[in-house]
Amino acid sequence: MTITIEEMAEQFKLLGDKTRLKIVSILYQQEMCVCHLVELLETTQPNMSQHLRKLKDAGLVREERRGQWIYYSLHIEDKPHLHDVLQYLPKLSEEVQLMINAKVCE
């Protein structure tokens, strides 16, 4: 599949937003429930939903419902240009990682 310069520009434009870049950076490491993303980024559920919808509409993330919660993961297998960029983003600290793994969605 060949991607156009216009599609790439739109994807990079979406990632130009600090919150969306943080979301993608987190999801690059692991899939995550929306409640964890809200907590990690210290934002509201409506704000997080708006950012995730934009990323989903652009085909960068996918969602999977598990019970009452929605889990998000990156969908960039067909976007090697994003793999190259995302590998340079900061990783979650080990402390944050342990907190996420211990937290149960309520």
Q: What is the pLDDT of residues 10-48, one digit of tens each?
A: 999 999 999 999 999 999 988 999 988 998 899 999 999
* pLDDT at 106 (0 to 100): 61
Please indicate whether residue 93 or residue 60 has the higher confidence score (pLDDT): 60
Percent of the residues in the chain that have a pLDDT greater than 90, as a whole number: 52
Give tens-digit pLDDT for 68-88. 889 999 999 988 889 888 888
Q: State the Cα–Cα distance between residues 40 and 13, nearest whole angstrom.
A: 23
pLDDT at position 100 over 80 = no
Q: Give the pLDDT of residue 1.
A: 62
Helix (H) or strand (E) holding 78: none
Token digits of residue 46: 């409506």
CA-to-CA dists, residue 12 to 6, 15, 69, 88, 99, angstroms: 10, 5, 28, 15, 30
- Of 88, 101, 57, nearest to 75 by C-alpha is 57
Domain parsing of the chain, residue ranges: 5-96
Q: Strands of 23-74 (E only): list them.
A: 32-33, 61-66, 69-74
Task: For the domain made up of 5-96, give the CATH fold.
Answer: Arc Repressor Mutant, subunit A (1.10.10)
Residue 38 CB partners (closer than 8 Å, separation 6+): 44, 45, 48
